[in-house]
Amino acid sequence: MTKFDIIIIGAGPGGYETAVRAAKQGRQVAVVEARRVGGTCLNEGCIPTKCLCRTAEVLHDVKTADVFGVEADKTPAFSLKKAIERKDNVVETLVKGVEMLMRTPGIAFFHGKATFVEATTMKVELHDGGEEILSAPVIIIATGSVSKFLPIEGAHSRDVLTSTEMLQLTELPRRLCIIGGGVIGLEFASIFNAFGSETTVVEYCKEVLPNLDADIAKRLRTSLKKQGIAFHVGAAVTAIKELSGGGSEVVFEAKGKQQCVEADIVLMAVGRAANVASLNLADVGIDFTPRGIKVDEHFATNIPGIYAIGDVNGICPLAHAATFQGYSVLDHLFGTTKRPIDTSLVPSAVFTVPEMASVGLTEEACQAREMEYSVKKAFYRANGKSLSMGSDEGLVKLIVGTDDKLLGCHILGAHAADIVHEATLLMALGGTVADLSQTIHAHPTLSEVLLAAAAE
């Protein structure tokens, strides 16, 4: 048995970032990963999809180049195979970077499957043979998530893929049906529509992106619809049936009627579930539900010394949330920072065209809590930089409390994912909207849309 100060199960953003920070603080850390380092985000999530988003943006720029006085072929040749190869190269480069981090002094890396033996002890079945028994007073579970499937007929049939398999396609589907209008579904819809696939999104809720601001989500859906993406909202998929001539039929109920969409590929994008299958959680008494491992405000489980961060606890399935939850665990254990991390203040982004970004409360959340608030808006079409870029679609929406503190910021438009962090910092530091409106912004910049909303 080898003893450590901390054992971290999972080498995704939460796991490897926490391991590096703990090692730099002088702790001896064991990191166990069953697959490739980098987790879902790097290997089959954030990074590879952003590579394809960039390809889609380049295609759009070429097709609209004449607007900027550039004569270009309106029907440029496109190779999905080359786009996937570029994506693979980017991922491989970043994976090698994480592998280097796992050689940080103080970190011992184990490539294998970890299971609990008891509350302070793990057994690791090594991929190259043999096993290791590891022990530590602190164990952090950071095993991430896996794709969900609807419990319907045909959910695992021939043409049904998850986001993981979609990222390996080398032939473009002529017809793509996406089940789920969340972040994953809309990003793939935006990408493959730009690539040339006839794309349809079927969403169970009455609006896409049901956890984000409904006003902004509706505007995004309208924009994507103008680009040629078909939507069916308030639609419950009941079956996926293979067609004898190839392809599948997605059957759903909407507005009291049964309808169907034919597709060559069906993307199942109905969310992700905590990856806990191989951990033996029940054997050591760790409380968990289908949503994830139960944790308190410090991300501690009901078993002393065992913590769960990232997707596996079901609180906020975002890579950066996992990282800062891990940092928060270290702060709780060792008191390593002077200022506590506010893990409830997490910005999110949807990398469609146009982008959408959000932080804080939505209008719907404020209404549910019976909070008093006001709304301030400013539009991209009144911003000089956005007009010069040819990206004048979008707006900034601020939710403001009675004390002039910013409760939420929701953005639709070019570089929304970058602009939202100014609002996040304002909220983290307890600033007011007046503070924002009195802060000089460079001209011409897209961030002036945020300034214009604050000054409304």
Where in the chain are the domains? 2-62+67-147+273-334, 160-270, 354-454
pLDDT tens profile 32-84? 999 999 999 999 999 999 999 999 999 989 988 989 999 877 678 899 999 99
What is the rounded average pLDDT of the residues 397-403? 98
Other CB atoms within 10 Å distance of the CB of residue 129:
7
Quick one: tokens of 278?
A: 């191989």
Q: State the catalytic residues.
A: 443
Confidence of residue 290 (pLDDT cuts 50, 70, 90): confident
Q: Is 180 left (phi over 0), alpha (psi -120 to 50) or beta?
A: left
Residues near 309 by beta carbon (within 8 Å), at least 6 away in sequence: 14, 18, 140, 141, 142, 299, 322, 325, 326, 329
Q: Residue 77's pLDDT is what? A: 87
Burial class (CB in 10 A: 0-12, 13-18, 19+), 283: exposed
Tell me: pLDDT of 99 over 80. yes
Distance CA 444, CA 271 (A): 39
Distance CA 120, CA 265 (A): 45
Q: Residue 71's pLDDT is what? A: 85
Nearest Cα neighbor of 85 from 167, 12, 187, 162 is 167
Give the CATH fold of the 2-62+67-147+273-334 domain: FAD/NAD(P)-binding domain (3.50.50)
Q: Residue 74's pLDDT is what? A: 67
Domains 2-62+67-147+273-334 and 160-270 are alike in CATH topology: yes
Tell me: pLDDT of 105 over 70. yes
Q: Is 379 helix (H, G, I), strand (E, B) or coil?
A: strand
Distance CA 15, CA 38 (A): 9
Q: Residue 412 carries which side chain, given as an amino acid letter?
A: L
Confidence of residue 450 (pLDDT cuts 50, 70, 90): very high
Q: Is 380 helix (H, G, I), strand (E, B) or coil?
A: helix
Instruction: Look up the CATH number of domain 354-454.
Output: 3.30.390.30
Q: Residue 104's pLDDT is what? A: 97
Confidence of residue 249 (pLDDT cuts 50, 70, 90): very high
Distance CA 24, CA 3 (A): 18
Tell me: pLDDT of 183 over 90. yes
Distance CA 144, CA 308 (A): 10
Q: Residue 65 carries which side chain, given as an amino acid letter?
A: A
CATH for 160-270, options being 3.30.360.10, 3.40.50.720, 3.40.190.10, 3.50.50.60: 3.50.50.60
pLDDT tens profile 339-372? 788 988 999 999 999 999 999 999 999 999 999 9
**209 contacts 217 by C-beta, under 8 angstroms:** yes
Distance CA 310, CA 295 (A): 11
Q: Report the b/e string of 390-410 with b at 16+ CB within 10 A.
A: ebbbbbbbbbbbeeeebbbbb
Q: Residue 242's pLDDT is what? A: 96
Nearest Cα neighbor of 351 from 220, 234, 449, 196 is 220
What is the rounded average pLDDT of the residues 270-295? 94
Mean of the per-residue pLDDT values for the chain?
95
pLDDT tens profile 320-336? 999 999 999 999 999 87
Question: Residues of the chain with pLDDT > 90: what percent?
Answer: 93
Tell me: pLDDT of 282 over 80. yes
Please name every residue paired with 399 in a beta bridge, in sequence order, or none if there are none: 375, 408
Q: Is 372 helix (H, G, I), strand (E, B) or coil?
A: coil
Cα torsion through 444, 445, 449, 454, rounded to 10: -90
Structure-model confidence comparison of residues 144 and 245, the more confident one:
144
- Nearest 5°: the CA angle 21, 27, 31 is 70
Nearest Cα neighbor of 9 from 272, 290, 310 is 310
Maximum pairwise Cα distance, the chain = 69
Tell me: pLDDT of 119 over 90. yes
Q: Is 89 helix (H, G, I), strand (E, B) or coil?
A: helix
Tell me: pLDDT of 166 over 80. yes
Quick one: tokens of 45?
A: 């999530």
Q: Is 149 helix (H, G, I), strand (E, B) or coil?
A: coil
Q: Residue 278's pLDDT is what? A: 86
Residue with tokens 């530590």: 136
Residue with tokens 């000054």: 455
Tell me: pLDDT of 125 over 70. yes
Cα torsion through 86, 88, 94, 95, rounded to 10: -170
